[in-house]
Amino acid sequence: MEKLVREAQELFHIHMTGRQVMALITYEKELMEWNQKFNLTAIRDMDSIRTKHFLDSFSCVLAWKANPPHRLIDVGTGAGFPGIPLKILYPSMKLTLVESVGKKAMFCQHIVSVLGLEGVEVIQKRAEDLGQNPKYREAYDWAVARAVANLNVLSEYLIPLLKIGGRMLAQKGESGPAEAQAAENAMKVLGGKLEQLIPVHLPGVADDRYLVVVEKVAATPPKYPRKPGIPSKQPL
């Protein structure tokens, strides 16, 4: 864990308290235990969990620098990434975790209670349903997703959830820049505008990674998001 603490500080200027480190240790332990029964993540060894889950989640900090989210929604969170590590860093942040797979949503709920995290809601639903629900639509200042879908599809999941002036953050691999370019029209239709691409380097990970940041500049037309399954079948 010392290595993770050092890398978080060197790469992202994150200074962790002892309590935060203890929370990550508990998270890691629970993840490895549950993984033996439920196959929550393909990443199983401790070093990879620390780099490809924890450190990768922390890389989101590069997008907001000194101004972290007040309300963050993490769509397709899986076993809680990047939302839960970010909540550990920012205890006062309000967090919504969205996961359609039952066992993954159940694990997220379990971790939230084991770590005693407050102000976290876990929802087992599709993003398309949430985007049409007045309680969640245009309610967030940041919406994040990691490796969930192509950017033209992901934009339809995330942008409707953002307030005007909010930001969508997609964690992407080497296809990030090409996807961002190809999705600019979809973003525009939904009220978004590509703001920046931030390269991310994780120690020991050869692939290029990017944070794609999209600003919401106009209200999303009421017909978006479309019904579940349609955005991925007929991308904008």
Mean of pLDDT values over 62-88:
96
Q: Residue 44 above 80 pLDDT?
A: no
User: Computed from CA positions of residues 176, 182, 187, 190, in that sequence, does the dihedral angle turn out positive or negative?
Assistant: negative
pLDDT in tens, 197-225: 999 999 988 888 999 999 999 999 999 99
pLDDT in tens, 163-195: 999 999 999 999 999 999 999 999 999 999 999
Which of 64-68, 73-77, 105-109, 193-197 shows the lowest per-residue confidence on average (mean pLDDT)? 64-68
Mean of pLDDT values over 104-129:
97
Q: Which fold has domain 2-233?
A: Rossmann fold (3.40.50)
Instruction: Return the domain boundaries, the chain.
Output: 2-233
pTM: 0.96
pLDDT at 148: 83
Which residues 6+ apart lie within 8 Å of 225 measured at CB?
Answer: 127, 128, 131, 132, 156, 157, 160, 231
